[in-house]
Amino acid sequence: MKPRTKSLQKAQTECFFLNSNLWSWISNYPITKLPNYPIHKSAWISAISGKLLLLFLFVASASAHVGSPDFYYDGYAGPYHLLVTVRPPTVIPGVAQIEIRSISSDPSQVEIVPMRLVGQGAGLAPTPDTAEHSGTDPHLFTGKLWLMTRGTWKVQITADGARGKGQLAVPIAALSSSSMRMQKSLGGLLAVLGLVLIVGAVGIIGAASRDARIVPGTEPSESDRRRGKIITIAAAVLVVTVIVLGNFWWTADANHTERLSYKLPHVDLALEGGNILHLALENPNNVAWRPYPSQVEDPDRIRLDDLTYDHGHKMHLFMVRMPDMTSFWHLHPYQLSAGHFSQNLPILPPGHYQVFADIVHKTTGLAETEVGEIDLPVDVGTPEVAASKNGAAFINAETPSGKAPGTVAQQTDVMPSSVVLINDDAGNGQLQPGETVSQLSDGYRMVWERDSAPLKANQTTWFRFRIEDSNGKPATDLQDYMGMAGHAAFIRNDGQVFAHVHPAGSVSMFAADLAEGKNPDDQSAMSAMPHPVPCQRPAVEGNLSPLTCSEVSFPYGFPQPGDYHIYVQIKRAGKVETGAFVAHVEK
C-alpha cells in the first residue's frame, strides 16, 4: 500500500477537527432550555428501554497537578510577551477556553489553533481561529478551541502587530477523569416516554396487520384477528430483543469508556532502614485511548518505562507534613527501574506526610503527579540506620541540574555518617508560614508583593515575591535553581489541590520544548526556560512594574476556594531557601 500524501493527511486532519464555523455555531447555540449534559448516540435506546443508562461527563484535569486542571504559561511569541491561560473542557470532545494577555508590545491580532503534541496530527494544523480582542481591556484576547480526543495537545498561538509576527506553543493535556450518572428526573421521564413508544409501536403494528386487508366499514374476521395477535406478539418480541441487544451494546461501550477515564495514580511508599524511602509508581491508565490496529501503538498510551528528565531529574518529590504543613521538602529520587525509585532521606521531623511525585513521559510530554502518604517515625534520617536488603544503600547519583545525567546509582556498604542535602534537594522542617512575610536564613526574608484585594478562585494571578536582606535591601546574590529563578508549590490545606509551578507557568518544561519543536533531551542549558535568572527578565509594561534581580514571579490561578499554603524556593548564595505563606481563597 502506498503511503498517503501529505495533502491527503492534511485534508483528513481538517475533517477531524471539523469546520470551525460549524462548531462555532454549535457552541453558541442557546442551551438554557436543554439539560446540562451532552446527549449521546444511545439516547434513543435509553428512551425505548425505559432503563436508566449512563451518560458520561468527562472532567478534564491537568495531570501534572492534583485538583488543578487549568494551564498557565508565561512566554514570548516573537517580540510579544504573553500570559496564556488554558481552561480545558469539561467534556471530551469539548471546548477549551483560551485567555491571552499581552504584557508588552500589544499585538493587533492573535490566532489560535489546536494541534496534537505527538503523533501524526502534530504537524498538521487545521484552520486557525482568530481570538476575540476585548473591547474593555486592550491587553486581553479570548478564544475557544475544540479538543476532539484525549491525550496531549498544544495551543499554537500566532501574534501579529507592528513589530511583526511571532509564535508561541503552549502544551496542555485533555484527560477524562470521571463520569456522572444521568439525572434521575430525566431518566424517569425517558423511561415513561420509552414505555409509551414501545406500547404505541407494538399497537400500531398489530392494528395494521389486523385491519389492513378488510373492507372499510366491516369488522375483521377471526383469521384477521388471529393474524394480528401473532404479528403483535412477534413485534413485541422483536422490540424487546432490540432493546436487550442495545442495552448489552451500550453497557459494553460504557464500560470501555469508563476504562478510558483517567484515574489519579498513587505511589506506594516504604521506609527501609530508617532513611531509605522506596517509591513504587502505579499506572492505572495503561490503556489505549483510541482504536489502533494491533501493530500500531497508541502514541498517547501512558507507560512507566519512558520517564524523562525535567529540570535535570526524572522525579520531583514533594513531601509536606499534615496537618500543620510546617515541614516541606522538595527531593529528587533516583530511578532504580521502570516505575521504581529510591530516595536517601534527610533528617525529617516525624509525622504524617502527604506526598506528591511529579514525573514526565518522554514519548508524549505528558506530566503526571502521583499521590501518596506515609507516617515517618522519630528516627527518620538519623545516622544509625541499617543498610538495604542487599547490603547496599542507594545514594542519589543524578548529576546536579544543568549537567547532563549519565551516571548510575552509587552504592556503598556503609551508610554515610550524616545525610546531607545534595542533588538539588531542599526543604525545611521548621517553617513559620506568614501572610506576606516569610523568614529565611541569615536574617533574610521573602516578601509576598500582594495587594489588598481578596484572592478569587479561577482568577489568573501573578504571584510576585521579593527577597530582602536583614536591612530591608533587595538581595543581590540570587542564583538559578535547576535552570530557573525559583519553584513554587500551591497546596490546599486538605491536600486535595497541588500544583508545582515555575516562573514560566504550570506546564512541564520538557513538554514546552516538545511543543516548540526543540530538542527536549537537551537539559544542559535549559534553553526553553523563558526566565532563567530574575535579572535577565526584560521590564514588563502595562500595569506591572519591572522585575528586579531580587524578585521571582509565578503565574497561577487557584482552582477552588479554601485555605492554601504556598511554598516558594529560591537559591541564594549557593543555598536553597524555602519561603512559606498562607492564603485564603474566596469563590
Residue 381 inside a domain? The answer is: yes
Same domain, 273 and 391: yes
* Least-confidence region, from 93-97, 412-416, 465-469: 412-416
Domain count, the chain: 3
- What tens digit of pLDDT does each residue of 163-222 get? 999 999 999 998 877 666 778 899 899 989 989 998 998 889 888 888 877 888 788 888
Predicted confidence at residue 501, as pLDDT, reads 96
Most confident of 17-31, 53-67, 149-163: 149-163
Name the domain boundary from 397, 424, 451: 424
Query: How do 445-448 and 140-147 pair as beta strands?
Result: unpaired
Residue 536: inside a domain, yes or no? yes
pLDDT in tens, 516-535: 888 766 544 444 444 444 45
Assign 476 a pLDDT band (cuts: 50, 70, 90). confident
The percent of residues in the chain predicted with pLDDT above 90, rounded, is 48
pLDDT tens for each residue of 299-328:
678 889 999 999 899 999 999 999 999 999
The C-alpha cell of 469 is what? Answer: 536582606
Instruction: Give domain status of residue 50, yes or no.
Output: no
Q: How confident is the model at residue 381 (pLDDT cuts 50, 70, 90)?
A: low
Of 57, 47, 89, 54, nearest to 253 by C-alpha is: 54
Going from the C-alpha of 141 to that of each of 129, 133, 463, the distances in angstroms are: 12, 5, 21
Q: Which of 424, 448, 482 is the last residue of a domain?
A: 424
At 290, the pLDDT band (50, 70, 90 cuts) reads: low
Q: Find the range with the poorest average confidence among 63-67, 125-129, 540-544.
A: 540-544
Name the phi and psi angles at 463, rounded to 5: -85, 115
Q: To which H or E segment does residue 298 belong?
A: none
Weakest mean pLDDT among 60-64, 371-375, 555-559:
60-64
Question: Domain limits at 297?
Answer: 263-424
H/E run at residue 206: helix 184-211
Q: At 291, which amino acid appears?
A: P
Whether 439 and 387 share a structural domain? no
State whether 385 and 506 are in the same domain: no
Residue 495 shares a structural domain with residue 556: yes
Q: Degrees (nearest 5) of the Cα angle 405, 408, 409? A: 120
Asked whether residue 334 is domain-assigned, the answer is yes
- Predicted TM-score of the model (pTM): 0.75
pLDDT class of 545 with cuts at 50, 70, 90: very low
Q: Which residue has the cell 438554557?
A: 32
What DSSP character marks residue 32?
Answer: T
Q: Is the pLDDT of residue 50 over 70?
A: no
Same domain? For 415 and 436 the reply is no
Mean of the pLDDT values across residues 9-13? Answer: 38
Q: 330 or 543, which is more confident? A: 330
pLDDT at 116 over 70: yes
Residues 140 and 273 in one domain: no
- Here the CATH number for the domain that contains residue 82 is 2.60.40.10
State the SS3 of 75-138: EEECCEEEEEEEECCCCCCEEEEEEEEEEECCCCEEEEEEEECCCHHHHCCCCCEECEECCCCC
Q: What mean pLDDT is reported for the chain?
A: 78
Within a domain: residue 531? yes
In tens, the pLDDT along 209-259 reads 888 778 887 888 888 888 888 989 998 999 889 989 998 988 887 777 777
Q: Are residues 587 and 449 in the same domain?
A: yes
Q: Which of 69-83, 130-144, 386-400 comes out lowest in average pLDDT?
A: 386-400
Q: How far apart are CA 406 and CA 400, in angstroms?
A: 11
413 plus 474 within the same structural domain:
no
Q: Do 466 and 584 lie in a common domain?
A: yes
**Residue among 39, 43, 60, 61 at smallest CA distance from 52:** 43
CATH number of the domain to which 440 belongs: 2.60.40.1930
Instruction: Please tell me the predicted confidence (pLDDT) of residue 274.
Output: 80
For the record, the C-alpha cell of 118 comes out as 505527538
Q: Which pLDDT band holds residue 62 (cuts at 50, 70, 90)?
A: very low
Q: What is the C-alpha separation between 430 and 444, in angstroms, rounded?
A: 16
Instruction: Say yes or no: 490 and 460 in one domain.
Output: yes
